[in-house]
Amino acid sequence: MNKQASFFESVSRNFDKAAANTKYPKGLLEQIKTSNAIYKMNFPVKIGGKFEVIEAFRVQHSHHRLPTKGGIRYSHYVDQHEVEALAALMTYKCALVDVPFGGAKGGVKISTRKYTVEQLEKITRRYTVELVRKNFIGPGIDVPAPDYGTGPREMAWILDTYQQLKNGEIDSAACVTGKPEKTNGIKGRTEATGRGVFYGLREYLTLEDEVKALGLQTGTGGKTMVIQGLGNVGQYTGLISIEEGDIKVIGVSEIEGTIVDPNGIDIAKLIKFRAKKGSILGFPGTKTLKKREDWVSIKCDILVPAALESQIHKDNAAKIKAKIICEAANGPVTADAEAILLKKGVVILPDMYLNAGGVTVSYFEWLKNLSHIRFGRMEKRFDQNAYSNLVDMVTRLTGKTIGVKERTLLTKGADEVDLVRSGLEETMINSFHQIRANYTRKKNVTDYRTAAFITALDKVASDYLTMGIFP
């Protein structure tokens, strides 16, 4: 087996491929490509009576806009190159969805399964202290969020530690996003990445010519899907695709193995089953495949890698039978695998666009924290009364009445979650069409990743050019 392209190499090669389609000066492209600041730390934490030295990173990829923004990953695979690749993707992702941040990412090299909740809390708090000490966190500096192995719980610990150290800082709640709703979070953040994946896929599936060329009908209804990774992103992608898209999830792969059911797997029930039994294997109605890795070769319309990078590589890419790959995870397809897949005519909806729902709603959360007010608080009641008056007038003028259910629907004012979902939907649709413009208009661009990269590059380059650093 020849050496596989690493995640870092793949991001770098993809960047170069897109950059070759632009006319920006070499120096500017180099500046955009490189990580602006890297903080590698080793700190001691007392675990079970003994000190353990924990290796961790925070990479700020681009300072062209501040604050920088990006999740924190807990995984034993973490290394500097992985965090740099993830941070770079955040820069392009933010630019693509018009979220005014530079890209960043954090990584703590630990396997979460090896630690108790109390030990994870200790590690998280110590990591936060290190970030504060080096000025690598703050509402206007660098704003972390969840990623693989972390979630709202860790974000709450980060916020609490930050606030203890920065007593009285009025905007301190905006130092981290993806927080629990009760501690200054926002409704709709937990599901945001999966929901964004669904909106992006749904938008692609409206393109009659392209979808027909794949041998499929437009629309999400009745399509089959296979998901790798039933964590935050995989779960919500599955749940929302079933509920709102009438998609059938026929295969799920997790650490313990891969299960299939051609009649469709109820993801809501599977999540409960796994929480109780600690495994997806044995879920009623499903068959377990011999090898976990065989998830890639299940015949389906849509394959959703939602676990880690480099899962689809040059040695398994040819086995893929899906027509569309939805990159819910970051970097799940290596550059070598992509070349094989594009030749086979597989469409790849790229990570930097498709999983941008998380950072989009994180942006809404940051805005909410800075404005110190919940979205919808000022206008909800006003809208409700205005709609109510309108319905009353129509019923008076027509002499016809409507049922309570219809009335409630027509007179509803928008709640925070309605506004968050609407903002996310708008963002995913708009960004898709910006990317598509480059996909259809640029002569040498034949894949969505390169089109997305160029779209992002144009925006980041334009920021640098307005600064006057690169005349």
Which residues are catalytically annotated? 105
Q: Give the binding range for ligand NAD (CB under 6 A) out of 56-64, 77-85, 141-149, 395-403.
A: 141-149
Instruction: Note the helical H segments in 246-356.
Output: 267-277, 335-344, 351-354
Size of the site for ligand NAD (CB under 6 A): 23
Q: Does 310 bind ligand NAD (CB under 6 A)?
A: no
DSSP state of 293: G
Residues 155-214 that bind ligand NAD (CB under 6 A): 193
| d(C-alpha 368, C-alpha 370), whole Å | 6
Q: Does 307 bind ligand NAD (CB under 6 A)?
A: yes
Residues 28-87 that bind ligand NAD (CB under 6 A): none
Count the Cβ atoms, other than its own, within 10 Å of residue 276: 8
Count the Cβ atoms, other than its own, within 10 Å of residue 374: 14
Contact 177, 145 (CB under 8 A): yes
Which residues contact residue 125 at a Cβ distance below 8 angstroms, ignoring those fewer than 6 apart?
157, 158, 160, 161
Q: Does 254 bind ligand NAD (CB under 6 A)?
A: yes
CB of 169 to ligand NAD, least distance (A): 25
CB of 355 to ligand NAD, least distance (A): 4
Contact 241, 225 (CB under 8 A): yes
Residues 211-240 that bind ligand NAD (CB under 6 A): 228-234
Residues 351-380 that bind ligand NAD (CB under 6 A): 355, 358
| d(C-alpha 267, C-alpha 269), whole Å | 5
Of 199, 223, 219, which is closest to residue 207 (Cα–Cα)? 219
| d(C-alpha 73, C-alpha 56), whole Å | 10
Q: Does 148 bind ligand NAD (CB under 6 A)?
A: yes
CB of 295 to ligand NAD, least distance (A): 7
Q: Does 10 bind ligand NAD (CB under 6 A)?
A: no
User: By beta-carbon distance, which residue lies closest to ligand NAD?
Assistant: 231
**Cβ closest to ligand NAD, residue 45 vs residue 89:** 89
Residue 324 CA to its chain's centroid (Å):
18
Q: Does 308 bind ligand NAD (CB under 6 A)?
A: yes
Q: Does 124 bind ligand NAD (CB under 6 A)?
A: no
Count the Cβ atoms, other than its own, within 10 Å of residue 338: 25
Which residues contact residue 112 at a Cβ distance below 8 angstroms, ignoring those fewer than 6 apart?
74, 75, 120, 149
Tokens of 221: 């209804």
**Cβ closest to ligand NAD, residue 28 vs residue 325:** 325
| d(C-alpha 357, C-alpha 97), whole Å | 9
**Cβ closest to ligand NAD, residue 76 vs residue 343:** 76
CB of 31 to ligand NAD, least distance (A): 25
2: alpha, beta or left? (left if phi > 0; alpha if psi -120 to 50): beta
Q: Give the binding range for ligand NAD (CB under 6 A) out of 24-32, 146-154, 239-247, 437-445.
A: 146-154
Residues 318-347 that bind ligand NAD (CB under 6 A): 328-330
Among 253, 286, 310, 369, contact with ligand NAD (rule: CB under 6 A): 253
**Cβ closest to ligand NAD, residue 203 vs residue 445:** 203
Contact footprint for ligand NAD (CB under 6 A): 146-149, 193, 228-234, 253-255, 306-308, 328-330, 355, 358
